[in-house]
Amino acid sequence: MLKKILPALFAGAFAMTACAADNEKAVRDAVEALGPGIKVDSIAPAPMEGFYQVVASGRMVYVSADGRYMLNGNLIDLKAKTDLSAASWAATRKAALAKVPASQRLIYAPANPKHTVTVFTDVDCGFCRQLHAHIDEFNKQGIAVEYVFWPREGIKTTAGNDTPSYTKAVSVWCSADRKNAFNEAMKGATPKAATCANPVKDDFELGERLGVNGTPTIVTENGDVVGGYVTPAQLLKALEAPAGTVGRGG
């Protein structure tokens, strides 16, 4: 009897796997056909039957298994009163940022931090400069601030040249005294031109995949996003709130 049942079970499992693969291809093809340069980063079954959750080019959408229908907006579980999209975004950010090593961040931390945030920043951003002006106070509140670069002008101009904001970020990273160069740049000084192997392009592309669309973007340890510029007191209050009660869906 077992010899008869097992082949049937294996055949059924194979058929389900093949069907899922066909659905994912249909979904991927439909999303990437929406425009040039759209790249699907992840596809997973959505919490609602018949749909897949897709992250593509910094957006999260829901697409029917046949690739015909797309919903653009946050998915809310009305029974549980939970924003499922926000929770998925938080998990996505947390997992992605966990792969960025300390060696690719600019870290300002107290001896024993209570909280750690990742901040996507740009040296020409006024609100980024205001935030950094309070870096000592953030540290006194027990908050470690770990910067990654997100040049607001992007990496290349339409003419194919490096953008000024990208060039400045690279110059800061490649300076002999990286932190001093960053501190001075955040006061308005133009960093001395320098080049080297650097993570700036990778940081920018990571931010785009995670839905970053401005600076500063502050991401908590849980993957939630805490607005743009906030004071040390406001950030501490947000970090001490229950997980999932701050941030946005992306």
Distance CA 85, CA 105 (A): 28
Q: How many residues does the chain have?
A: 250
Show the low-confidence residues of the chain (pLDDT under 50).
Answer: 9-10, 13-16, 247-250
Record the tokens describing residue 212, joined without a space.
């970053």
Record the tokens describing residue 55, joined without a space.
């992250």
CA dihedral 201, 207, 210, 214 (to 10 degrees): -150
Q: Give tens-digit pLDDT for 54-71.
A: 999 999 999 999 999 999
The pTM for the full model equals 0.85
User: SS3 for 78-116, per residue?
Assistant: CCCCEEHHHHHHHHHHHHHHCCCCHHHCEEECCCCCCEE
Distance CA 250, CA 211 (A): 6
User: Tell me, what's the pLDDT at 17?
Assistant: 56
| Cα radius of gyration rounded to whole Å, the chain | 22
Distance CA 58, CA 41 (A): 9
CA dihedral 81, 246, 237, 121 (to 10 degrees): 180
Q: Give tens-digit pLDDT for 83-118.
A: 999 999 999 999 999 999 999 999 999 999 999 999
Amino acid, res. 32: E
3-class SS at 207? Answer: helix
The full set of domains in the chain, from first to last, is 2-79 (3.10.450.70), 96-239 (3.40.30.10)
User: Tell me, what's the pLDDT at 241?
Assistant: 82
Contact assessment for residue 9 and residue 18, using Cβ atoms and an 8 Å cutoff: no
Distance CA 89, CA 77 (A): 15
* Residues with Cβ within 8 Å of residue 54, at least 6 apart in sequence: 27, 28, 31, 40, 42, 43, 60, 61, 62, 63
